[in-house]
Amino acid sequence: MDSKFSDVSEDTEKMFNDLLKKINQPFVLSFKLLNNEKLKVAVKVQKVAEVYQYICKADVIVFFNEDVFDKLDKNAKEILLRQEIDKISVNIDSGKIKLIKPDVVTFSGILKKYGFEKVARANQLNDLVVEGDKLAKEAETFFEK
């Protein structure tokens, strides 16, 4: 049976490890790096389920499509890797790992018109309002009991 997965090249592994050293994360995670020739993007992170963390000794799998990844310049590789790594969030108290969405997702025309700072602020305000509404509804149901 042919597998779509394989180990990444030494170059990819070195670049990933060098980037991790630069980031200096406040938590320790173990990563498994895999090449996935069917991946539709250059790089993607995936949280590992608890039982599989034990089996494969990894908290997060980083999938690469090295055919795509190798065609990118060094800057693009670092940006894409950093974007994926920044999705990883660890609750310091419980150690629970989750993947979070980026804080700025928009169209280039919006960024050109309003600038990064204003777009980021609008997205953050939106998230705060949504979270506030959620908390208000929870409080209402709590006090109704």
Mean pLDDT of all residues in 95-110? 85
Least confident among 11-25, 28-42, 82-96, 126-140: 126-140
d(CA 70, CA 101): 25
* Per-residue pLDDT reduced to its tens digit, 23-81: 877 778 999 999 999 999 999 999 999 899 989 899 999 999 999 999 999 999 999 99
Domain residue extents for the chain:
1-101, 103-145
Give the model's confidence band at 131: pLDDT under 50 very low, under 70 low, under 90 confident, else very high: confident
Least confident among 7-21, 39-53, 112-126: 112-126
Please say if the pLDDT value at position 82 is more than 70: yes
Mean pLDDT of all residues in 1-6? 78
The candidate with the shortest Cα–Cα distance to 53, out of 29, 33, 85, is 29
End-to-end CA distance of the chain: 57
d(CA 113, CA 103): 18
Tell me the whole-structure pTM to 2 decimals. 0.74
